[in-house]
C-alpha cells in the first residue's frame, strides 16, 4: 500500500471504531456490502465509509403539485412558522408570507411541516 492508500485505510478503520457504517466490496465486484465484522484484507477488498444520503432539491418539475406543501425553517432559521408554498417557477418558489426562495435554499434551510426534506432523498452507497 502507498502512504496515500494507508492514510485512507486509517480513516475507514477509525470510522468503524467510532461506530460509523462502513462498507466493503471484493475488487472484482461492483456492489458494496455492509461491513459488520471486517477482516481488513486490503489486497482482496476495497473498503469505504458508507456515503450519507443527500437531498436533491426539488425543481419545478419534481415539486409535489398534487397536494398543499407546508414548510418551516430549520434550526435557527428566522422563520420557524409553517408556510404554504403558494407559487413556484423554474428557479424556485414563494412560501406564503416569505420571500422568494431558490430550490437550493429551500432544501438547505427548510423542511416540510412533518420534518421531511424539501427535496428528494438520494441514498448513498447502497
- pTM of the predicted model as reported, rounded to 2 decimal places: 0.61
Residue 126 clears pLDDT 60, i.e. is over it: no
Determine the pLDDT at residue 95: 84
Residue 31 clears pLDDT 60, i.e. is over it: yes
Determine the pLDDT at residue 124: 66
Burial 34-62 (b: 16+ CB within 10 A, else e): ebeeeeeebeebebbbbeeeebebbeeee
Q: Where are the beta strands (DSSP E) in the chain?
A: 22-26, 33-34, 45-49, 54-57, 70-73, 83-89, 92-95, 101-102, 110-112, 119-122
22 contacts 30 by C-beta, under 8 angstroms: no
Max CA pair span of the chain: 58
Q: What is the pLDDT of residues 58-102, one digit of tens each?
A: 999 999 999 999 998 887 655 567 889 989 999 999 888 778 999
Q: What is the dihedral of CA 90, 62, 83, 102, to 10 degrees?
A: -40
Residue with cell string 432559521: 77
* Percent of the chain clearing pLDDT 70 (strictly above): 93
Determine the pLDDT at residue 53: 87
Amino acid at each position: 500500500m502507498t502512504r496515500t492508500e494507508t492514510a485512507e485505510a486509517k480513516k475507514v478503520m477509525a470510522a468503524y471504531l467510532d461506530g460509523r457504517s462502513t462498507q466493503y466490496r471484493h475488487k472484482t465486484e461492483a456492489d458494496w456490502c455492509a461491513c459488520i465484522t471486517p477482516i481488513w484484507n486490503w489486497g482482496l477488498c476495497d473498503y469505504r465509509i458508507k456515503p450519507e444520503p443527500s437531498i436533491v432539491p426539488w425543481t419545478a418539475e419534481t415539486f409535489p403539485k398534487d397536494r398543499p406543501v407546508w414548510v418551516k425553517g430549520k434550526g435557527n432559521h428566522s422563520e420557524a412558522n409553517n408556510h404554504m408554498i403558494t407559487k413556484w417557477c423554474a428557479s424556485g418558489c414563494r412560501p406564503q408570507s416569505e420571500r422568494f426562495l431558490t430550490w437550493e435554499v429551500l432544501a438547505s434551510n427548510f423542511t416540510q411541516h412533518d420534518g421531511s426534506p424539501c427535496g428528494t432523498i438520494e441514498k448513498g452507497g447502497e
